[in-house]
Structure 1
Amino acid sequence: MDEKHVVAQIVKDEIRHATVMYGLLADLGVDVGGHVSAHDEIFTMRVAADADIGTERITSDKRVNIFYYPIDTWADFIFFNFCMDRGAGHQLEDVRHCSYGPWVRAIEGIFKEEKFHIRHGEYWVKRLAEDPKTHDEAQTTFGKWYIRTMNIFGRPGSAKNALYRRYRLKLRDNDEVRRTFAAEVKDKAGEVGLTVPEWAPVWDRLPEEAQIPG
């Protein structure tokens, strides 16, 4: 029952994050309601669990690529917390110190909640990885979500990233953020006996810019 409450809180947090980010976009003149209505049915589309779409965005709703994949099992949910929420946290570190005040103020609460999601993932990754009955499932599931998360950070040396850094909307190159994420995950995975899979990037297929989830 406690875990049901925790998962419900995580879902509630993510809905709040979307509401906050939609509010920022609306303040800039974006027709948020129109965009959501136009893509309402597309938002529910998912690929097969074993699909590999690389870095493609295969629909018009502009979602972060990783959200095309279904979360079908408890291990999927946990390693999403462990990998993707951590990846988002590394990207949001730049936002916390950027030059656009409304974004900075909005992100602070989101950042704290993402840290809670990451801690939840770490707690359960340890349990799954250190239990002989679930270790193999943990390793396989980790491999899936780690690769998918590595694809979200964008290309190194992108022109858009350079422009964003010029205006201090970002502080680091995309690949610097990715490498910082990868180093942390390697340490965390090693502590519980998980092996980090090899990620072989095809740079020209990566999105030019990082995909920052709220």
Structure 2
Amino acid sequence: MAEDMTIESYLAAGGVLTNPTNVPPRYRAELMKLMATFVDSELAGAAGFADVINAGPGIKERIAAAKIVLEKTDNADRVLRIMGDFGADADRYANNHPWTTRLERDADIGTSRTDHDMRLAVFNYPLDGWVDAVAMNLLMGRAVVIQLTEFSMISYQPLAEAFRTITPIETRHAELAAEGVIKLIEEGETAALQAAVNYWWPRVAASFGSSSSTKAESLKEMGLRKSTNAELKTRWEAEATTLLESFGLDVPS
């Protein structure tokens, strides 16, 4: 960084940071929020899938669900270790909240979250059996890959590298969901899948946040975002639509 350049102008010009010592307070707050959201969502997601492992109709399906639980927990740990560099108590974090907690199935909280549990709102809803879990993973899997592709380019280099390691793992989770959908359709579960897709579509869409958010520009200046919420959501809608149509499923209106 040039001696006459502020950290803010350095970041706005595309610079990267590599350790917590020279991170500005506002940047630190947004970075911690991003990491907490990811860690809490992975831990809550893993907890949800843990509850449906034994609902898998066969050994392969149960292995796939168990693999997702293991790898999501490991992904959370990878980012949590970076949070530890900023002072987070990584050893106690996993017990900080009952990650299995869920709302009623018919609840509708939009994009709401709390300061103590930063999981994306979609992970507050319960899974309702195997077909429902596969449909949720199909839609949310694509959303996660799109979001991670975005976060793999952020300006805090250690976290960007962690996300680049995590992205292919989460991509495989989405692929496992697609394989599960194919098998369920072959077994005559198309109607149940469609009902599950109808339920999860708006809840996954809400995971991209408010389209009216005014923070996009400031996050771009800090190198913590390149796309707006609306742009990421539009990308997901296009990819998810193509995916559903390839299975002969309808896209919810």
Question: Is 2:101 the partner of 1:81?
Answer: no
* Contact 1:129–1:193 (CA under 8 A) maintained in structure 2: no
Q: Which residue of 2 aligns with 1:153?
A: 208
Displacement of 1:172: 0.6
Larger Rg: 2
Q: 2:123 aligns with which of 59, 67, 83?
A: 67
Q: Which residue of 2 aligns with 1:109?
A: 165
1:69-108 CA-partner distances (Å, limit 9, x unpaired) = 1123111221122111210110111112222110111112
Q: Which residue of 1 aligns with 2:22?
A: none
Q: What amino acid sits opposite 1:97 in the alignment?
A: M
Question: Is 2:67 the partner of 1:9?
Answer: yes
**Sequence identity, in percent?**
29
Give matches, 1:60-209, under 5 Å: 60-129=116-185, 131=187, 133-156=188-211, 158-198=213-253
* Contact 1:75–1:137 (CA under 8 A) maintained in structure 2: yes
* Contact 2:111–2:210 (CA under 8 A) maintained in structure 1: no
* Contact 2:142–2:239 (CA under 8 A) maintained in structure 1: no
Q: 1:25 aligns with which of 55, 80, 83?
A: 83
Give matches, 1:49-68, under 5 Å: 49-57=105-113, 60-68=116-124
SS in structure 2 at match of 1:87: helix
Q: What amino acid sits opposite 1:51 in the alignment?
A: A
1:179-198 CA-partner distances (Å, limit 9, x unpaired) = 00000111111111111112
* Contact 1:96–1:107 (CA under 8 A) maintained in structure 2: yes
1:186-213 CA-partner distances (Å, limit 9, x unpaired) = 1111111111112xxxxxxxxxxxxxxx
Q: How many residues align?
A: 195
Displacement of 1:59: 7.8
Distance 1:122 1:53 in 2: 27
CA RMSD in angstroms comes to: 1.9
Where do 5+ consecutive residues of structure 1 fail to align?
Answer: 199-214
Distance 1:65 1:31 in 2: 24
Distance 1:24 1:183 in 2: 33
SS in structure 2 at match of 1:159: coil
SS in structure 1 at match of 2:87: coil
Q: Which residue of 2 aligns with 1:40?
A: 97
Distance 2:115 2:214 in 1: 24
Q: TM-score, normalised by structure 2?
A: 0.71
